[in-house]
Structure 1
Amino acid sequence: MTQNNSRFTGKTALITGGTSGMGAATARRLIAEGGQVIITGRDKARLDTAVAEITGGTAEFADRLLAVRADAADLTDLEALADTIRERFGRLDVVFANAGVGAFAPIGEVTAAEFDRIVGVNFRGVYFTIQQSLPLLADGGAIVINASWTLHRGLPGASVYAATKAAVHNLSRTLAADLSARRIRVNSISPGYITTPMFHENVAPEAHSDIIGAIAAGRLGTVEDIAGAVAFLASEEASYINGQDLVIDGGIATSTPAAML
C-alpha cells in the first residue's frame, strides 16, 4: 500500500496505545500523510519518548501530534481524553482503537483477576473508547479496531485473549450497522505475528524460526505492514469497505507453506 502524502490533510485521528509498535507506526504514517494525530498511553515517560520517535524532531510533525496520558481501561480517563480532543481539535475523523494487552496461559491457570484485566483492556476499553469518541467523530468518519489472527484460528493458551479479539471484531460488524445513518465505517484488522515489543515479550527468541516456517510469506510482519493497512481502511480509498476484518498475517491462518508438507 503506497503512501499518499496528502491523504489525511485536514483530518484528525485518535490512536489509543500509541507509544510503541503498531500504534506508533500508524501515528507516523498518518502524520506523514498530512493528518493530525492524538496518541494515548498509560505512562508519561513512554509517551514523551514516543513523541520524539514519531516526529523525528521535525517541528511540522510535532505541531500535528498530541500525546495524552490515558488508560483505555479507565472510563474516567476516556472521558477526560474526549474533553481534551474537543478543546484542542473540535472533532475526529478517524479512530484506531489499538490499545490492548497480550496474555497467554492454559485455561486452568487463568485467574479471575487476570480474566478481568485482559477483558477490561481488550474489549471493555475498546468499547468505551469508541463510545466516548462518537460525539466527536464526523459523519463519514472511520473506525478501525485492532483484533487478531487468533479469532480465525485456535492458538493454545489464548483462550481469553482470542475471545476478546473475536468480541471486538463482532463489535465492528455490529457498529457498522448501528452507525450506518452517519456513514461511519467500522472495520477491524487481524494482525499475525508482528515484530512489536508485545511479540518479543511473549515469544522466546528460539521459537522465532519455527513461527516463520509456518508463515506462507516466509517472514514476520512489520509494524509498517499494519500502519499501511490501517491508513488504507481509514481513507476514502476504502469507502465501500464496512463491517469487515482485514487479516494481515502472511497467510498463517489460512495457508500451509510447502516446506511443512
Structure 2
Amino acid sequence: MELQETTAVVTGGTRGIGRAVALAFAEAGATVVIGARDGADVSETVAALEDRLESADRSGAAAAGLRTDVRDEYDVERLVETASRTGDSSGIDVVVAAAGVYHGDAGETPTDEESYTALDDHWQINGRGVFATIRESLPHLNDGARVLVPTGAIARDPKPGYGSYAISKATAEAVARGFAADTQYTVGCLDPGQVATALSGGGGRDPEDVAGMFVWGATDADRDVLDGNVLGLAEWKRATR
C-alpha cells in the first residue's frame, strides 16, 4: 500500500498511535505534517520522519510540523494551511485526528466522581478537537480525501471507571458520523483495540503494530464501508491477509 504523491496531516503526531501512524505514512511515501502541543517533541518527530523518508528513498515527499493545540481552532487552521503547501503537491489527501488526552489512570476515573475540569478538557481535546481538525481541513481537502479518527470500544461499550474519557470518545465517533453524512469526503473511525500508550496505562499492542491499519484506512479500505462507520482489527486483518 503506497501513499506517494499524497499529503497527510496527523494531530497528536508525536506520541502513541499518532507518531506510529505518521512514521508509517512516511514509510509509504506520503508527505506528512504533524501537530502536537509540545514544540520540542514536534521538532524531534519531524526529524524522525525525515530520516524515515530518506531511508525509504521517498523522493518528492517531505515532513513538517507545527506546535498545535487542537483546543484552538486557529492553531489547527495554521496546521492544515501549512500542510496544504508542503511537498510537491497541493492540498490534503488524508487527515488523522489522533490528538487525545486522559486525565487520571485508565479505568480509575468513574463518572460519578469525575471533576468538571476533567470533563471539560476531555471534551475539548477528544471531542471538539476532532471537530476542529476536520472542520478546518475541509477547505484544503482534495477530491477523494479520507479522514480517519482513532477510537476504541469504550466509546460504544462503556465499562466502569472510564468516566468522561469514554464520553468524549463517543463524542468523537458522533463527530465523524456527522461529517460523513454532511460532506462529500470519506470520514470514518478505526478501532485498533487496546494499544500500549499513556492513555491506556501502557497495556496492549505496540502502536507500530497497528499503524498499518491506518495506512490501509487511508488507501485500500472500502470507502462505502468506512464512511460514517467504525472498522476494527477484524476488518483490517480480513482485508489484508
TM-score, normalized by the shorter chain, greater than 0.5: yes
CA distance in structure 1 between the aligned counterparts of 2:118 and 2:223, rounded to whole angstroms = 38
What TM-score, normalized to structure 2? 0.84
Shift of 1:57: 6.4
Are the aligned partners of 1:191 and 1:226 in contact in 2 as well (CA < 8 Å)? Answer: yes
**Alpha-carbon displacement from aligned partner over 1:207-238 (angstroms, at most 9, x marks no partner):** x6xxxxxxxxxxx3221233111111111443
RMSD: 2.2
The equivalences for 1:69-218 within 5 A come to 69-88=67-86, 90-104=90-104, 105-179=109-183, 182=184, 184-199=185-200, 202=201
Are the aligned partners of 1:99 and 1:122 in contact in 2 as well (CA < 8 Å)? Answer: yes
Q: Name the residue aligned to 2:230.
A: 245
Unaligned runs of 5+ in 2: 235-241
CA distance in structure 2 between the aligned counterparts of 1:42 and 1:133, rounded to whole angstroms = 18
Q: Name the residue aligned to 1:11.
A: 6
CA distance in structure 1 between the aligned counterparts of 2:172 and 2:112, rounded to whole angstroms = 24
**Alpha-carbon displacement from aligned partner over 1:26-78 (angstroms, at most 9, x marks no partner):** 11111111111101111111112222334446545696111111111112211
Are the aligned partners of 2:151 and 2:189 in contact in 1 as well (CA < 8 Å)? Answer: yes
**Alpha-carbon displacement from aligned partner over 1:108-146 (angstroms, at most 9, x marks no partner):** 332222211110000011101100000001121100011
Are the aligned partners of 1:149 and 1:191 in contact in 2 as well (CA < 8 Å)? Answer: no
Q: Which amino acid in structure 2 is aligned with residue 246 of structure 1?
A: L
Q: Which amino acid in structure 2 is aligned with residue 69 of structure 1?
A: R
Are the aligned partners of 1:145 and 1:168 in contact in 2 as well (CA < 8 Å)? Answer: yes
Q: State the percentage of identical aligned residues.
A: 30
Q: Name the residue aligned to 2:44.
A: 49
What TM-score, normalized to structure 1? 0.78
Shift of 1:155: 2.0
Unaligned runs of 5+ in 1: 209-219, 250-261
CA distance in structure 2 between the aligned counterparts of 1:164 and 1:145, rounded to whole angstroms = 13
Q: Which amino acid in structure 2 is aligned with residue 35 of structure 1?
A: A
